[in-house]
A and B are shown apart, each in its own frame.
Chain A
Amino acid sequence: NAGVTQTPKFQVLKTGQSMTLQCAQDMNHNSMYWYRQDPGMGLRLIYYSASEGTTDKGEVPNGYNVSRLNKREFSLRLESAAPSQTSVYFCASTQLPGLAGEQFFGPGTRLTVL
């Protein structure tokens, strides 16, 4: 079991460029999440997918789009990157959202936008 995998691990973009962050889980989990982590801000939820075929906005969705490609994969797209999107991005999944539902996190993608 690989758990939650993310690609790429590191990325440098120029302002205005686009890119897609990939996330996959092999635990047959129903719900998947994208967070960003910035110094002093903790984790902030960007988007989540409660189940295959559904996606919803989190706390900070502006500038991002997501696709729940199938039950395993949940991608995050930056259409026109901005320096404010420099951050560490984490994907997470859970089998039991809500009570008792621990989250499993990927290793993160470290993104720098110049």
Chain B
Amino acid sequence: AQSVSQHNHHVILSEAASLELGCNYSYGGTVNLFWYVQYPGQHLQLLLKYFSGDPLVKGIKGFEAEFIKSKFSFNLRKPSVQWSDTAEYFCAVNARNYGSSNTGKLIFGQGTTLQVKP
């Protein structure tokens, strides 16, 4: 069965610190990868996505992620966090089987709560 593991459950950083959130998945086939963010009181929003091509993808608000196929990883990074980045971050995987029933199914990690101190 597919699964997604996020290594850090709760991260506390000071403003301007660098951020890296780990995400590993278990699935032997081709995947689409996502990072979603949930700000306090708001709904899930897409930060960035990887479907194919350049394994280094850039998203909104200065976030980027690198897909390392050999490590089954898709870690999220940001060089300098701001107080407004305080939120919960979710890594998600979709197994890419064209024509199959998996297309609308996202498997989420448990989430990482990021607290940025001003």
A binds B: no
Q: Which residues of A contact B (CB under 8 A)?
A: none
Q: Which residues of B contact A (CB under 8 A)?
A: none
